[in-house]
């Protein structure tokens, strides 16, 4: 590994952390964010998806886990979305599938407190 690789990794991690913190700060005022079911992955799904879409457009899809995975692949390959790390994709897919997936592929939606 080159000497600059650790710096790039640290800079990327810091940027992602800043983005998540900043998202939480401004997203609370966003009606799309407020309407989303709370849960692991909410902030990151909002950060990634709302960059190009209104969240209602995303949430009405009701895809299966494989459907969400295909959507992420399509957004990356066809529309220039930055490629996500596998754990980042999994976080979004799990959140969307659990809370907004197909009826057969999900548990009961979590009630908003």
Q: Hey, where are the domains in the chain?
A: 4-100
Strand residue runs (E) in the chain: none
Report d(CA 67, CA 36) in Å as an integer.
Answer: 19
pLDDT per residue as tens, the chain (113 positions): 555 556 566 656 555 655 555 555 556 678 889 989 999 999 999 999 998 888 988 988 889 999 999 999 999 999 999 999 999 999 999 999 999 988 544 455 554 54
Count CA within 13 A, CB hemisphere, residue 90.
3
The model's pTM is 0.68
Find all residues with CB under 8 Å of 35, minimum gap 6, and list them. Answer: 55, 56
Spatial CA neighbour of 22 closest among 44, 3, 55, 49: 44
Which H/E stretch holds residue 45? helix 42-49
């Amino acid at each position: 590994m080159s000497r600059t690789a650790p710096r790039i990794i640290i800079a990327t991690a810091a940027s992602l952390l800043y983005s998540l913190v900043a998202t939480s700060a401004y997203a609370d005022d966003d009606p799309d964010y407020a309407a989303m079911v709370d849960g692991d992955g909410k902030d990151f799904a909002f950060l990634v998806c709302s960059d190009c879409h209104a969240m209602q457009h995303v949430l009405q899809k009701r895809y299966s886990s494989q459907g969400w995975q295909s959507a992420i692949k399509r957004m990356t390959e066809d529309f220039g979305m930055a490629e996500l790390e596998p754990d980042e994709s999994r976080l979004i897919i799990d959140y969307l599938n659990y809370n907004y997936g197909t009826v057969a592929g999900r548990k009961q939606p979590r009630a908003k407190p």
